[in-house]
Amino acid sequence: MDGDLPSSDGSSVNNGHDDITSKPRFLIIGAGSRGNAYAAAIVRTGLGVVAAVAEPIAFQRENLGRNYVWHDTERTPDHEYGDWKEFIVAEQQRRSIQHDMQLAYQPGPPEIDGVFVCVRDELHCEVVTALAPLGLHIMCEKPLATTLADCLSIQRTLNTHPQRVFAIGHVLRYSPHNMLLRHLLLERKAIGEVLSIEHTEPVGWWHFSHSYVRGQWRKESISAPSLLTKSCHDIDFILWMLCSPLAGSDEQTPHVPSNVSSAGSLKQFRRSMKPKEAGNATNCLNCPIKDSCMYNSPRIYYDRHLAKGNAKWPVHIVNPEVESTLQFQGPDKAKEVLFATLAEDYDAATTPVQDIESRPWFGRCVWESDNDVCDDQIVTFEWDDVSGTGRGAKTATFHVIAQTLAQCERRGRIYGTTGEISYDSKNITVHDFTTNDTTRHNPEVPKNSHHGGGDDGLTECFVKAVAAVKAGKTAVQEAQQNFLGVTLEEVIRSHAAVFAAEEARRERKVVDWAEWWTKNVEKPLTEGD
């Protein structure tokens, strides 16, 4: 990435952004865990300003605003909006007044330069396409959308308006670990030509139960396949490693896969796997085996977290008010608030389906939930030789598995013609066959940043890109490439690969990538379907 602008510690000077009024200003849409993560990252960079928050839940809006928006300034109406629609109306009105006054000075709220879209996955398309006419720079949390049609709708919409910086929450690209790994692989050619990659995402046994059995991503019909919601940035990671043009080559055409296949299913978290001793219990608080069950919700949320003073993730996902309750009313009251939420349950025979599907149920028995997303899945990509380009045949396998001790600490091996690389989330080990030497790398991981520093890395790159464009130093396309290193087409390609893999899994077939891409991406984009 371009290093001309300041680093995350703000130590560089002469960057044109020392004056706070010239720093790019950002709106956070959605004050959940991801919105707070990006707001914190903006503040840590020192390169931008969290100018406003849009969030319908007053408590969450207040919490983010207090910490990152009006923490050091007087609170004003333009700091907060009830939702993203309210912001759009306000912004349109501001521009209308400005136009009517023929750009005369108006003592109103300053402009917003960019937006971080951190709402529920299924709302991404609606929000991004509604924001596009405003000409704001946009960072959208992953996945881009929950259907391929919506992904293409976003691409069409963005392409019909003047180009702005666009980023996607594929944070794996921006961690120091993965950037070094890619450098060793593609630029240093540390193991020669890549022949095969094995990449694994261990979700974590209780993490999966939290998010994909009891939580909001538990069911395809109300969310999307777990391969998309959990692992779209892992698929992007693989394509980033293996599709990218060769370093120093004039040939910039990506080396795309020839075919995609996948196998996976829901293996553990289903009613047939329920221990007989649990009987008819549907909620952990009244289950006869609650003291011995590893998935007992009080053991996960209270014993492992709140009892130890942690009211942040995952506790604040269960009930966002627990954190402030702990701070202002003490641990006993916080426990009471948490357990009241965990006690909530439904009757599958009498509770309307729409009521069941409208929210998570964190006290629900993991074998009695309505979840249906895969807890174990393997995806395989194959590449053919491309004659005369130096791009050889290779294979990549991706395994996402729920039942693991490690939690989201990716690991893998890469096999090349002259060596082998093994990696986890902290270390990279390179073995050279020609010299029999083994080299170990331990990239520094920034503190307080999730995904191995990827959250801060992505945020800094996006803010720098917006700052460069705002200052008139860089054209949008150049900023997009120099700072973010990814195009909108690449974003669509990696998401399309997920949908192709899901089609292969459901229909138990091997998908021909070129044929599938023409039918499902190129043709709809051309015809506007």
What's the rounded Cα separation, in Å, for the pair 235 and 373? 17
- Six-digit token string for 245: 């043009």
Q: What are phi and psi of 212, to 5 degrees?
A: -120, 0
- What is the DSSP code (8-state) at residue 69? I
Q: Where are the domains of the chain?
A: 20-164+452-486, 175-269+373-445+492-527, 276-357
Average pLDDT of every residue of the chain: 92
pLDDT in tens, 292-307: 999 999 999 999 999 9
pTM: 0.92
Residue identified by tokens 């308006």 is 161
Is pLDDT of 16 > 50?
Answer: no
What percent of the chain has a predicted confidence (pLDDT) above 70?
A: 91
CATH class assigned to 20-164+452-486: alpha beta
175-269+373-445+492-527 shares the fold of 20-164+452-486: no
- Average of per-residue pLDDT across 223-241: 97
Lookup result for tokens 């959250």: 455
User: Once rounded to an integer, what is the mean pLDDT over residues 17-30?
Assistant: 80
CATH number of 175-269+373-445+492-527: 3.30.360.10
Q: Could you give the C-alpha distances from 251 to 47, 268, 361, 381, in angstroms and in order?
A: 35, 46, 51, 22
Across the range 464-474, mean pLDDT stands at 96
pLDDT above 80: residue 356: yes
CA 278/CA 320 separation, integer angstroms: 30
Q: Do the beta carbons of residue 410 and residue 425 sit within 8 Å?
A: yes
Across 312-329, average pLDDT: 94
Token pair recorded at residue 81: 């909006």
Mean pLDDT of 64-72: 93
Strands (E) in 62-202, as ranges, are: 80-81, 114-117, 137-140, 166-168, 194-202
Tell me the pLDDT tens digit for each residue of 421-454: 999 989 999 999 999 999 999 998 777 767 788 9
pLDDT for position 101: 65
Question: Mean per-residue pLDDT for 115-131?
Answer: 98
Q: Which one has a higher pLDDT value, 104 or 514?
A: 514
Decide if pLDDT at 253 tops 90. no
Reported as a single tens digit per residue, the pLDDT across 128-166 is 999 999 999 999 999 999 999 999 999 999 999 999 999
Residue 56: is the preceding peptide bond cis (ω within 30°)? no
Show the tokens assigned to 180: 């070094």
113: left (phi over 0), alpha (psi -120 to 50) or beta: alpha
Query: Span 163-186, mean pLDDT?
Result: 96
Split at pLDDT 50, 70, 90, the class of 327 is: very high
Question: Residue 396 has which token pair?
Answer: 């990549």
Mean pLDDT, residues 211-239: 97
Angstrom distance (rounded) from CA 361 to CA 366? 10
